[in-house]
Structure 1
């Protein structure tokens, strides 16, 4: 079939068709995005100024915060501006770039969370060999692997979509360009592409989730051998990681571990992993982590006094 592409721009339906609801959402999500930026920047500043990055856990936490800022920035600013716009448009090229960004930073975050689980496994189950196993060279290689993995995943997603013909309609029932809503607009049968997309995203989401569950199960079982103080500290750290994993992977699994179909709930579910999780990460990691809170206090005292 000849690849005919008459579509130069797409039109979003947005979160709601009700003007009053959109105005409320504008205020709420503007606040959420501000919290995302300030919270994650504070963690990056604390880790860097407090020299916490020498520890592998905070080394990865630093980049998790950076990825959270980038990930939310791919969708949130456009969504917030569109909430006050009569017509919510995005160019074809902009749509493909947004699709790439969502999957690149989203997949990178999944891999970083997986690496952080491995880091906690080594720290708790093999404490005597921790610094040898998690040396800076290995941490750098693992971090590079998360970025390369995210890039390969997103390139596959975009490559599957750009080769499809789009000849109208051009209205997307969503607030950003994602694979399933965009595939519905293609002027050809997308069954095979949909299966490949689901296999690609689903394997990464489910596979990483299973690895994380196994890792934290092993960690929790091994804590029985620890002292009461050791158990308390380990549970405090792992508890924050587990909370992030559940909040992030629950919606992701719902969205990508299914055939090429869309539901009316998809937009609300997507809000969780594009807005809510990046906003909660700083709160979860700081409120449950004494070392980060102490570093923030030192940073605050240094700047003020």
Structure 2
């Protein structure tokens, strides 16, 4: 217990120093006191530009954990918020995010889920004449992940990108974009070995929308894709879905260049997962660093 208490004191000191640094950048950070939840209210003031990612880290070490974060990005502001969630042993992590975006927000959620653990992510984003790019990223997860996102956009641009490499367990994503005179893009790239994937999307309202749910199965896994469009007269929407094995011709082409089969598979998988990512060098570096040491099994 003395060692544990010392670690907790050091962690609290580090968090306090980090919050102080954010406040020096002009960001308002307030701990939330909602019963049963931990988390923060983060406000990016009007016309404030924060190019350095704001990092939030949560670790569940076997006990159940509940997190609630509220984010407000005001007019003319720009911010990046990266949330790292890890659930260990048999506990679960319940994370909620409520965001109001009037400026530009780059939101990334990085999940690392060990066997017999579960992460549940329930999020709502209200994008009012703003820009939101939301990313769900995970590498070599073997537990269960349930991600339900709702986007509400008014004269805005909304993008969601699911980039997921799964060993086993359950992955369920259910993303709905309700838009008015807006643009919504929902893209999913999933690789599974022996897991089960349920991938649902919906775009509804007026404006333009595109949804794609693509997956690769390498083992005995299963992928269910359900893209849906609620079309109206003023809407222009498209969707597509593809699920299959690794393209053998592409694999043989790589191997013809002197690359061994295992390395060729990894190159193919990374190319599939990272396809069509927006131009954001910090985010690309983050994703590549997460996946660079991954193997096909």
The TM-score bracket by the shorter chain reads under 0.3
TM-score (structure 2 length as normaliser): 0.27
Larger radius of gyration: 1
TM-score normalised over the length of structure 1: 0.26
- The structure where strand makes up a greater share of residues is 2
Larger RCO, structure (CA 8 Å, separation 6 or more): 1
Q: Which one has a larger percent helix, Structure 1 or Structure 2?
A: 1
